[in-house]
Amino acid sequence: MSRRSVLHGQSSEGEQRLTGSTGRATHGFTLVELLVVIGIIALLIGILMPALSRARAAAQATACMSNMRQIGQALVMFTGEHKGYLPKAWFNASPKTTLPPSGRDVQPGDYGLSDAWRYKYPMFGWDYVLQTYIAKNKNVFRCPSDENTDIRGKFDDSMTGLPDAADADNIPASYRLNLSNYPLGAYWAVKITAVKRSQEVIEICEGSPAPLGLRLADPTYAAAHHVATWESFNEATVSPSRWQNVAYQRHRGGKTTWINPLNNQKVLLEGTANYVFMDGHVERRDWGATWQPIGPAPAGASYIGPSQNCATPWRSNFDMAQNAKSGNPWGYSDGIGGIDNNRVSTAQDPPHFN
């Protein structure tokens, strides 16, 4: 083989290595090309992420509504099995608690009453009671959009002689019972037939977590079981100007330009929440829609505020004429109208139960 042919062969082999088996020239990406590709990917992510976030939030809101629908069905079953009574937030040993209660427990005699229910301290909160109708599925009480990790019922885990397993009442605290329509606050249950326009009245709402400082100081501390218009306990009160205990903005959608009755200032409240009504159905509403009138204004009412001097989804079951005469037709504590004037008794407000 001549030197020329050898050189030629070497050249052919080198050329083949450079061009590949197809004979086409190959080379890597330049830095500019890589930056362009990265820029395009970043742009696509920027476009898609908000859409994905909205889709995720919508899916979580729907899952939350499904949870609350199951709770609503449990509520209906409880009412059917307990002579028309709705559950109380606590003290569910019997429909009417003997006053004063024995601390966190009811009086011993309440367990022997002819109409006593089967629930015993400390496992007689509304969530523990209703979970028995949902195959004891605690996850139903956790809203997927709720980033809070509050768990109720931990305070009794070390007690002896419990009526159920120690963690049986360790239930997520995403939801709260609305006690505004109950005749004696936390102590007496109310029959659904005794509530005016019950199909329009909120029974369960999405709740805010307990204050962070209290949770850090005590790991067993969790959000209150309830909210109420008559409540003087800051962590459980609800009124047009006190929305902090309701997770009214947990889900997207909805804007309410609200006039705060405390200072007559406009407040923009964004977001929505799911609500279980007394008949068991579920609706998603913004904050303003939960205070819309559901009945005529009481005669002589002079309250100036967004709820238009009439019953609202939060409370319909009270003597509007009586409250109007007292200057507090709404029966809520908001700093300007005093507290509820239509309670059967002036017994102390319930203590906080985890």
Q: How far, in Å, are 90, 206, 235 from residue 118 at the CA level?
A: 13, 27, 29
Question: Is residue 106 in some structural domain?
Answer: yes
**End-to-end CA distance of the chain, in Å?**
96
Question: Is residue 314 in some structural domain?
Answer: yes
Question: Is residue 349 in some structural domain?
Answer: no
Question: Is residue 340 in some structural domain?
Answer: no
Cβ pair 238, 229 in contact under 8 A: yes
Of 209, 176, 207, 205, residue with least CA distance to 289: 205
Sign of CA dihedral 101, 103, 109, 114: positive
Euclidean distance between CA atoms 262 and 341, whole angstroms: 19
Cβ pair 128, 169 in contact under 8 A: yes
Cβ pair 173, 148 in contact under 8 A: yes
Q: How far, in Å, are 254, 345, 353, 354 from residue 235 at the CA level?
A: 25, 22, 11, 12
Burial of 277-289, coded b for 16+ CB within 10 Å and e otherwise, reads bbbbebbbbbbbe
Euclidean distance between CA atoms 220 and 149, whole angstroms: 11
Question: Is residue 25 in some structural domain?
Answer: no
Question: Is residue 10 in some structural domain?
Answer: no
As for how many domains the chain has, the answer is 1
Euclidean distance between CA atoms 147 and 139, whole angstroms: 14
Residue 194: give the domain boundaries.
Answer: 53-153+168-325
Euclidean distance between CA atoms 120 and 26, whole angstroms: 79
Cβ pair 105, 161 in contact under 8 A: no
Cβ pair 347, 338 in contact under 8 A: no
Q: What is the DSSP letter of 160?
A: S
Structure tokens at 304: 């100036």
Cβ pair 132, 59 in contact under 8 A: no
Identify the pLDDT of residue 307.
43
Q: What is the pLDDT along the chain (354 residues), one digit of tens a residue?
A: 544 444 444 444 444 444 445 555 556 778 888 888 888 888 888 877 777 777 888 899 999 999 999 999 999 999 999 999 999 999 999 999 998 898 899 999 999 999 999 999 999 999 999 999 999 999 999 999 999 889 999 999 999 999 999 999 999 999 999 998 888 888 999 999 998 889 999 999 999 999 888 888 998 899 999 999 888 888 999 887 788 999 999 998 877 777 666 677 777 888 999 999 999 999 999 988 898 888 765 555 444 344 445 678 998 865 544 444 444 444 443 333 333 333 333 333 444 444
Euclidean distance between CA atoms 5 and 7, whole angstroms: 5
pTM for the whole structure: 0.78
Of 191, 176, 301, residue with least CA distance to 228: 176
Q: What is the DSSP letter of 85?
A: B
Question: Is residue 272 in some structural domain?
Answer: yes
Identify the pLDDT of residue 8.
46
Question: Is residue 268 in some structural domain?
Answer: yes
Cβ pair 324, 311 in contact under 8 A: no
Q: Is 229 left (phi over 0), alpha (psi -120 to 50) or beta?
A: alpha
Identify the pLDDT of residue 146.
95
Structure tokens at 244: 């902090």
